[in-house]
Amino acid sequence: MRPEYAMRADETASVLSPAPPLTGLSVRAKILLTFLLIAVVMGGILGLVWHGKGQFDQVNRRMVEEHLQAVSVVKELQLAVMTQDHAVSRYLLSGDPRWLETGDAERSRITQALLRCHPLFDTRAEVEVLEELEKSLGRHRRRMDDVLQVHRAGAQGEPEANRLRRESGLLPEILRQSESLLSIHQGLLERNQAEAQRMAGRYRKLEYATLLLAVLATLSAVLVLRSTVLAPINSLAEGARQFGRGQLDHRVPVHGDDEFGRLSRTFNEMAAALQRERGRLTEMSMTDELTRLRNFRHFASRLEEEIRRAERYGHPLALVLFDIDHFKLYNDTHGHPAGNEVLRVIGRLLRDNARQTDLLARYGGEEFVAILPETTKADTVQLAEKICRLIELHKFPGEEQQPGGRLTVSAGVAAVPEDLAHSPLLLDAADRALYAAKAAGRNCVVAYSPEMGMPRRDHTLRLRPN
């Protein structure tokens, strides 16, 4: 274990020191015990509430069912009376015996409906109305019988039908009495429901008072548990999630000086160490160790980004390739350490004379590359010539043995949109310009022109051999 992550001996002793029985339990045991007590209390209270509510609902449901049954019977009675009246009328008009059979069937339905009404309407007011309804039905039935008897004696159907209609004043009275019966029953139902509601309300108040006490006690226990156990656990869990997303700058709050507090501090120390290590590794992964410029991998990634940005917004983008003239001769004459020193010096000169927005990288071997966003071709050529002159004027050890007596560089420049319509061709265009600079005698800057040939659409960035 690394020293910065290890727990000191005195901290270990404090963790293992004697503690009260409850605090000696594990975090999982504390949580389970707390929630078990909460579940028992809440279960008992909710059981009482549900029991009372179930009784109330059962009584209320029974009253509603009885009322619906009473309404159904009365409506059936009304329908049977009206259907019978209609069937007899049609029989008198048409003489069709099927209408007479329908009337007899409806008379039987009326009798059965009256029998079903008696157990449903048992209060004094309901019994009185029901008796009046039975009398009206009896008078209506006798008049029907009289009309049919006259008809069977040979009288014409139309006069009997007219008489039935004139004396049908009993039908509205029957309907009114049946509706009155329902109205009385509805009133009784509402009064009974109101009384049941009052009783249930008093019972619920007692239950709610008990439930409120249980909730307050449970809430107090939960708050204590949350502040001592759950809050540190949630903080550590959130820290782990942030770490999983790569957010190594995240820090967890320290809750006190207990086990969770020490764990949180250790967590933060580990996060800081990992953040520093990741920063160092990130810098190493994108930096050329010799020149301290960006390496080829980072250059390739940034070039793709700058190309996409230039194409998306139509902004200018320029690229410069530098190559040390006769570097192999210098290396062979003075040795690799001297050659490495030349690479370091040129890297420093490039870095000191470029803008912060430019990206400088070692392209491979003795080649360097510069990406210049938002830069025109003319400005890029001017900057490249400045750097070439600075390198030519710099005193390198043993440069007098180089051709021309100085160590120099050549540069190739390409830019969009001046030279090319498509940014992905930029690198190959700069490479052609660099070859042209070499062919022109070296120690110069050459910008791309169409006479150098059309660049290839090749997204594969190549490394030149050292």
pLDDT band for position 48 (50/70/90)? low
In a domain? residue 460: no
In a domain? residue 418: yes
Asked if residue 397 and residue 258 are part of one domain, the reply reads no
**212-216, 234-238, 240-244: which range is least confident on average?**
212-216
- pLDDT at position 17, please? 34
- For 372-405, give one letter per residue: b (16+ CB within 10 A) or e: bbbbebeebbebbeebbeebeebebeebeebeee
Give every CB contact of residue 93 below 8 A, 6+ residues apart in sequence. 157, 158, 161
Contact 413, 319 (CB under 8 A): yes
Q: Which of residues 200 and 245 earns the better pLDDT score?
A: 245
Where a domain ends, among 226, 259, 286?
286
Average pLDDT over residues 69-77: 78
* Mean confidence (pLDDT) of the chain: 78
Helices 259-286 and 9-16: angle between axes, nearest 10 degrees: 140
In a domain? residue 322: yes
Asked if residue 198 and residue 56 are part of one domain, the reply reads yes
On the question of pLDDT at 20 being above 60, the answer is no
% residues pLDDT > 70 (the chain): 74
Tell me the residue range of the domain where 122 lies.
Answer: 1-286
**9-13, 260-264, 299-303: which range is least confident on average?**
9-13
Please give the single-letter amino acid code of residue 445. Answer: V
On the question of pLDDT at 18 being above 60, the answer is no
Find, among 417, 415, 428, 418, the residue nearest to 384 by Cα.
415
In a domain? residue 240: yes
On the question of pLDDT at 196 being above 50, the answer is yes
In DSSP terms, 321 is beta-bridged to 369, 412
- For 61-80, give one letter per residue: b (16+ CB within 10 A) or e: eeeeeebeebeebbebbbeb
3-state class (DSSP) for residue 97: helix
In a domain? residue 143: yes
Please state, in angstroms and as integers, the Cα–Cα distance from residue 30 to each residue in 106, 218, 224, 257, 270, following that order. 75, 15, 11, 19, 28
Asked if residue 98 and residue 176 are part of one domain, the reply reads yes
Give every CB contact of residue 286 below 8 A, 6+ residues apart in sequence. 294, 295, 297, 298
What are 176's two structure tokens? 């009114």
Asked if residue 316 and residue 237 are part of one domain, the reply reads no
Where a domain ends, among 261, 286, 311?
286
CATH number of the domain residue 331 falls in: 3.30.70.270
Neighbour count for residue 240 (Cβ, 10 Å): 12
Where a domain ends, among 286, 308, 331?
286
3-state class (DSSP) for residue 321: strand
Q: Alpha-carbon distance 264 to 399, whole Å?
A: 60
What are 67's two structure tokens? 């009322």
CATH number of the domain residue 253 falls in: 1.20.120.1730
Asked if residue 160 and residue 90 are part of one domain, the reply reads yes
- pLDDT at position 56, please? 66
What tens digit of pLDDT does each residue of 386-436 get?
999 999 999 999 999 999 899 999 999 999 888 775 667 888 999 999 999
Which residues have a catalytic role annotated?
366
Give every CB contact of residue 33 below 8 A, 6+ residues apart in sequence. 25
Place of tokens 């869990």: 237
Find, among 360, 385, 370, the residue nearest to 446 by Cα.
385
In a domain? residue 461: no
Asked if residue 281 and residue 321 are part of one domain, the reply reads no
Find, among 228, 256, 226, 252, the residue nearest to 239 by Cα.
252
What tens digit of pLDDT does each residue of 257-281 get?
766 777 778 888 887 888 788 778 8
pTM of the full predicted structure?
Answer: 0.49
On the question of pLDDT at 256 being above 90, the answer is no
Cα 415 to the chain's mean position, in Å? 45
Asked if residue 362 and residue 241 are part of one domain, the reply reads no
Q: Which of residues 245 and 336 earns the better pLDDT score?
A: 336
Find, among 271, 264, 234, the residue nearest to 249 by Cα.
271
- pLDDT at position 53, please? 63
**295-299: long-range contacts at Cβ-Cβ below 8 A with a sequence spacing of 24 or more?**
295/361, 295/362, 296/361, 296/362, 296/363, 296/364, 296/461, 296/463, 298/361, 299/359, 299/361, 299/363, 299/369, 299/371, 299/461
β-sheet with 445-447: strand ranges across: 359-364, 367-373, 317-324, 409-416, 445-447
Asked if residue 112 and residue 238 are part of one domain, the reply reads yes
Asked if residue 144 and residue 15 are part of one domain, the reply reads yes
In a domain? residue 337: yes
Q: Give the chain's length.
A: 466
The H or E element containing residue 362 is strand 359-364
Asked if residue 74 and residue 43 are part of one domain, the reply reads yes
Asked if residue 244 and residue 117 are part of one domain, the reply reads yes
Average pLDDT over residues 104-128: 81
In a domain? residue 85: yes
Give every CB contact of residue 367 below 8 A, 6+ residues apart in sequence. 321, 322, 323, 324, 464
Count up the domains in the chain and report the number: 2
Asked if residue 124 and residue 251 are part of one domain, the reply reads yes
